[in-house]
A and B are shown apart, each in its own frame.
Chain A
Amino acid sequence: MKSNKKEVLLEIHDLQIQGYSDEQWVDIIKGVDLTLHRGEVMGLIGESGAGKSTIGAAAMGYARDGTRISGGSIEFDGMELSTATEAEKRSLRGARIAYVAQSAAASFNPAHKIIDQHTEAPLHYRLQKRTEAQEDAMVLYEKLRLPNPDEIGFRYPHQVSGGQLQRAMTAMAMSCRPDLIIFDEPTTALDVTTQIEVLAAIRDIVDEYNTAAIYITHDLAVVAQMADTIKVLLKGNEVEEAPTEQMLKSPKEDYTKSLWAVRSFKREQKARPKDSVPLISVKNIDASYTGGEKVLDDVSFDVYEGMTVAVVGESGSGKSTTARCITGLLPPSKGEIQFKGEALPPDYRNRSKDQLRQAQMIYQMADTALNPKVKIHEIIGRPAQFYQGLHGGDLKSRVDELLDLIELEPAQYYNRYPPELSGGQKQRIGIARALAANPTFIICDEVTSALDQLVAEGILKLLDRLQRELNLAYMFITHDLATVRAIADEVVVMQYGKVVEQGPKEDMFTPPHHPYTDLLLSSVPEMDPNWLTTLLEERGVDNVGDAASTKIDPNDEKVQS
């Protein structure tokens, strides 16, 4: 695939990095070796806390605030970075080693135009004059298939979509034609359909300029498309390293195998109970935020008792808005929400306690959904007190019972605060809080997307067990089709605020599909290293991502793909 692989560009030996926590320095990278040749793309994968990003930054001689490089050597093209002065290291950054961050929206300065940020490094290093640098930026924008390459750079970051910004950031990294680019989870924050465009653009440009890259991600299927070699990390240690093909076919270590064994969890699909009234029925609702355009347009679907309905679609498709309408946070402008056949008041303020209790929510970011200054038993106890009027001993035993339900030892967690818990445990507390109200219906809004794969699977298993034991109905909002495959009974696909397709899961995953469903399904990366190449050949490079989804009308006919 690449030529000229012999020359070593970056050689990291026995790298050790410490982080400052609880008033002492603790090891977070415990002696990692890494050799990267010119033009080679290495994938670094592992769960959160594995030290992927820290190693990526260290390859630029950079230690984030609160960390320090405490040992080992980092040799970049003959220059030792661990002993270099700050000025020497700075002269490499942007010029010879560039960085592409996870969230382009947060990593572009909101105060400056995109092209002014692009030309900053070439101007600083006096490689080009301003007009030359701007023309070069437009050439790169065009190569990365950004729309209106001559004009887009003169916009401010907030005026450009996420996928476009991520490509503009890749263009910015290329501005000085560096020898090495660090890609730090560049597509994690994007929708699957947008992700493809960015992946294809990154791969082409890295190929074209024969740039070496370190590609950091937790998504195996993504790394399989991008990398020549893959290195697996676990808690600051290397697990193993091998060329991509070999690593995918025959991983050696058990940990790697456990990562490879994707989503072993799957549950039986249930059918709707015959002759029964749906528990929650969304009937022809339209909704808009104050003064804005319509964000929901004639949305209808039913959720039956004890069943899971997955609502999928890209960001902005109206999934979360639908949830807000059901809970009464956003009264719909047309249509109604029915509970067991009876209309619920549109505004939650007009609903009775008993009506409010029925529908509860679990949120994506357990970190921000739990008040960090409130003890666990108060977080869980509050809804139990509010809805059931429990006090004293009754309340305590109810909280204990709820903690038992989510598989956390009551005595151990009763008096603790959310920041003391891990991500998965916090999400369990979020679940317990929803259960405390004794609901019949729970809206799960992207509950696993912020979690590592293994932890997410634990949450899905827990939700499944609770559903069986308590006969709960779920509305599962997600953009992750693997999760849908694992847990859904029925699927609702949304685009631009409309339902484009709905039905039992098995039907949704077998053709014919609505063109939008087809686009979503085909955009999910697969472990096959040739998946992206094949897909681009089949669909055409201009027929993926945003470009493809704008061509689709929610009212289109189904297609046999």
Chain B
Amino acid sequence: MGDILGLIGRRLGLGLIILLVISVIIFFMVELLPGDIAQAVLGQGATEENLRALRKEMGLDQPAIVRYLEWLGGAVTLDFGNSIVTDERVTTLIGDRFMNTLFLASYAAVIAVPFAIILGVIVALLRNSIFDRVANVMTLTSISSPEFFLGYILILYFAVKWSMFPAISSLSEGMSFWALLERTFLPALTLVLVVTAHMMRMTRAAIINLLASPYIEMARLKGTPPWKVIVRHALPNAWAPIINVVALNLAYLITGVVLVEVVFVYPGIGQALVDAVSKRDFPVVQASCLIFAATFILLNLAADVGAILTNPRLRHPK
């Protein structure tokens, strides 16, 4: 196990370096955008004096590298400065929204991951049957349709025609957990439909890939029933690729939900990011991007560790 802890440590260190590089890219990309922030904040009618005063206040008269280091120093202690537009602390502004997004992503993941993997196992067992083809066509259709389109279709049927779930997922204080689940069901379902195909197809492919292995033939020649051949003999050896795809899709659930949040008017970080970009609220944009990057890095790290933990050769060295 010592090896695995060392490996996690090394990967975490590497992740931090990648995050640092990304922070440089994010900061200077924003820096490269045309236009003057002070001008944008004060509007066209601002006087030269006012502009200069604001630039000084925001530290814009300092060289970029100094501002980057200050920003980075703040970011390390989770202090991303204040919003230019509302002058609120960025952390309070997006903290809640990030939690909302995490909630929605977890909600979708708790449904989608087991569903996709179980479906993948079933289609691997019934490969090339009608069920296999239908499942493939359905999941491919859902992944190929844009999220907002899927979202509106779901609203049309579940909210408008059948009145089963609310069309708008606005949140209020003091909602019970069940009310929250009901309120956010449609956006979660949209996300489930979007990520299922990928995970299911990888599960199916990873299992079928192993079916030519001698140990699978051995299991068959021991009289093992087909479902047990798949679940007990193929699946435990197929985890590595499945886990990687699951991690990528989880990252997508957090970072790719902008459109779904907009459709369902859900107060998540995606919406905050879109708002901030249109209002040139750079501290919020930078903080959101950094959070997204950290999410990707952490989930990929988790996938690597998961792949190692499911490999008996690495778990039980000679």
Asked if chains A and B come from one complex, the reply is yes
Instruction: Point out residues on A near B: beta carbons under 8 Å.
Output: 57, 60, 62, 64-65, 90-95, 98-99, 101, 103, 106-112, 120-121, 124-125, 155-156, 158-159, 172
Type the 1/0 row for B307-318, where 1 means its CB is closer than 8 Å to any CB of A: 000001100101
Cα-based distance from A94 to B217 in the complex (angstroms): 12
CB pair A62 B312 closer than 8 Å: no
CB pair A93 B222 closer than 8 Å: yes
Type the 1/0 row for B222-254, where 1 means its CB is closer than 8 Å to any CB of A: 111100000011001100000000000000000
CB pair A107 B217 closer than 8 Å: yes
Q: Which parts of B198-222 form the interface with A (CB within 8 Å)?
A: 212-215, 217-222
In the bound complex, residues from chain B placing their C-beta under 8 Å from that of A111 are 233, 236-237, 312
In the bound complex, residues from chain A placing their C-beta under 8 Å from that of B223 are 90-95, 121, 124-125
Q: Which parts of B29-77 form the interface with A (CB within 8 Å)?
A: none
In the bound complex, residues from chain B placing their C-beta under 8 Å from that of A120 are 219, 222, 224
Among the listed B212, B215, B236, B313, which residue makes an inter-chain contact with A108, where contact means beta carbons less than 8 Å apart? B215
Residue of B nearest to A182 (CB): B221
In the bound complex, residues from chain A placing their C-beta under 8 Å from that of B220 are 62, 93
In the bound complex, residues from chain B placing their C-beta under 8 Å from that of A155 are 316
Residue of A nearest to B239 (CB): A111
The answer to whether A107 and B215 touch (CB under 8 A), given A92-B223, A121-B222, A125-B223, is yes
Residue of B nearest to A121 (CB): B222
Cα-based distance from A64 to B313 in the complex (angstroms): 29
The answer to whether A106 and B213 touch (CB under 8 A), given A111-B312, A158-B313, is yes
The answer to whether A99 and B218 touch (CB under 8 A), given A90-B223, A158-B312, is yes
Cα-based distance from A426 to B222 in the complex (angstroms): 36
Q: Distance (Å) between the CB of B181 and the closest chain A CB? A: 36
The answer to whether A106 and B214 touch (CB under 8 A), given A111-B237, A158-B313, is yes
Cα-based distance from A107 to B213 in the complex (angstroms): 8
CB pair B222 A106 closer than 8 Å: no
Q: Distance (Å) between the CB of A139 and the closest chain B CB? A: 19
CB pair A159 B237 closer than 8 Å: no
Number of B residues with CB within 8 Å of any CB on chain A: 21
Residue of A nearest to B211 (CB): A65
CB pair B218 A107 closer than 8 Å: yes
CB pair B237 A109 closer than 8 Å: yes
26 residue pairs of the A-B complex, CB under 8 angstroms, read: A90-B223, A92-B223, A93-B221, A93-B223, A94-B221, A94-B223, A99-B221, A101-B214, A101-B217, A106-B213, A107-B217, A109-B219, A109-B236, A109-B237, A110-B215, A110-B237, A111-B237, A111-B312, A112-B232, A120-B219, A124-B222, A125-B223, A156-B312, A156-B316, A158-B318, A159-B316
In the bound complex, residues from chain A placing their C-beta under 8 Å from that of B217 are 64, 101, 107
In the bound complex, residues from chain B placing their C-beta under 8 Å from that of A124 are 222-224
Cα-based distance from A60 to B212 in the complex (angstroms): 18
Cα-based distance from A121 to B214 in the complex (angstroms): 17
Among the listed B212, B222, B236, which residue makes an inter-chain contact with A65, where contact means beta carbons less than 8 Å apart? B212
Type the 1/0 row for B155-184, where 1 means its CB is closer than 8 Å to any CB of A: 000000000000000000000000000000
Q: Which parts of B286-318 form the interface with A (CB within 8 Å)?
A: 312-313, 316, 318
Among the listed B215, B221, B316, which residue makes an inter-chain contact with A60, where contact means beta carbons less than 8 Å apart? B221
Residue of A nearest to B316 (CB): A156
In the bound complex, residues from chain A placing their C-beta under 8 Å from that of B237 are 109-111
Residue of B nearest to A109 (CB): B215
Residue of B nearest to A111 (CB): B236
CB pair A101 B318 closer than 8 Å: no
In the bound complex, residues from chain B placing their C-beta under 8 Å from that of A92 are 223
In the bound complex, residues from chain A placing their C-beta under 8 Å from that of B316 are 155-156, 158-159
Cα-based distance from A124 to B222 in the complex (angstroms): 10
Kindly name the residue among B212, B312, B318 whose own CB sees the greatest number of chain A CB atoms within 10 A.
B312
Residue of B nearest to A103 (CB): B214
A93-B220, A111-B237 are known contacts; what are 14 more A-B pairs with Cβ within 8 Å?
A93-B221, A94-B222, A94-B224, A98-B221, A99-B218, A107-B214, A107-B218, A110-B312, A111-B312, A125-B223, A156-B312, A158-B318, A159-B318, A172-B222
Kindly name the residue among B212, B223, B318 whose own CB sees the greatest number of chain A CB atoms within 10 A.
B223
In the bound complex, residues from chain A placing their C-beta under 8 Å from that of B313 are 110, 156, 158
In the bound complex, residues from chain B placing their C-beta under 8 Å from that of A156 are 312-313, 316
Q: Distance (Å) between the CB of B317 and the closest chain A CB? A: 8
Cα-based distance from A22 to B213 in the complex (angstroms): 23
Residue of B nearest to A102 (CB): B214
In the bound complex, residues from chain A placing their C-beta under 8 Å from that of B221 are 57, 60, 62, 93-94, 98-99
In the bound complex, residues from chain B placing their C-beta under 8 Å from that of A64 are 217
Cα-based distance from A60 to B220 in the complex (angstroms): 11
Q: Distance (Å) between the CB of A177 and the closest chain B CB? A: 14
In the bound complex, residues from chain A placing their C-beta under 8 Å from that of B236 are 109, 111-112
Q: Distance (Å) between the CB of B49 and the closest chain A CB? A: 67
In the bound complex, residues from chain A placing their C-beta under 8 Å from that of B219 are 109, 120
Cα-based distance from A109 to B222 in the complex (angstroms): 13
Kindly name the residue among A57, A95, A107 whose own CB sees the greatest number of chain B CB atoms within 10 A.
A107
